[in-house]
Amino acid sequence: MSELSRIGVAIATDLLGEFDALIDKRGYTNRSEAFRDLIRAELVRESSSRPAGRVVGSLTVVYDHHVRQLEEKLTELQHNHNRVILSVLHIHLDHDNCMELIALRGTSADVQRFAGLLAATKGVKHAQLAITASADAL
Ligand code: NI
């Protein structure tokens, strides 16, 4: 764990009250952890907003495996973007539907381009990209 620094923050009482209510609702037991998470989220947002910013994330995809040629197209797309793919978990959800969880690492532009191409493939029902951290911070 890195060294800790203590800081003092002046904040309007009303605003602090709203913040405390929010973090309580979210299950935080102390303000420091909530502040740290807000700061990390903002750093990730900043990193992912720059095309060259390095990120890690996960892409969740749901599709009907009966759609003609779809699995071949998805596999080809993944092979064409193997540089950004760390791992793929395939789950047979039910008789028709498959879910893939694709772990990604690369520049924000590359990760988002891959997610966009996969989401736009005909037969993909849903695709959700979550950028979870700056790869530089790991
Ligand atoms: Ni399947």
Per-residue pLDDT of the chain (138 residues; tens, 9 = 90+): 678 899 999 999 999 999 999 999 999 998 999 999 999 888 888 888 889 888 999 999 999 999 999 999 999 999 999 999 999 999 999 999 999 999 999 999 999 999 999 999 999 999 999 998 776 655
Containing domain of residue 26, as a range? 13-49
Q: pLDDT at position 137, please?
A: 55
**Shared-domain flag, residues 69 and 129:** yes
Q: What is the DSSP letter of 2?
A: P
Residue 97 Cα to ligand 1 midpoint, Å, equals 7
Tally the domains of the chain: 2
CA distances from 24 to 7, 18, 28, 40, 42 (A): 22, 10, 6, 19, 20
**Shared-domain flag, residues 77 and 129:** yes
Residue 59 Cα to ligand 1 midpoint, Å, equals 16
Residue 129 Cα to ligand 1 midpoint, Å, equals 20
Residue 43 included in any domain: yes
**Shared-domain flag, residues 112 and 75:** yes
Q: pTM of the full predicted structure?
A: 0.79
Residue 56 Cα to ligand 1 midpoint, Å, equals 25
**Shared-domain flag, residues 64 and 132:** yes
**Shared-domain flag, residues 38 and 98:** no
**Shared-domain flag, residues 64 and 129:** yes
Residue 125 has a CB neighbour count (10 Å cut-off) of 14
**Shared-domain flag, residues 72 and 45:** no
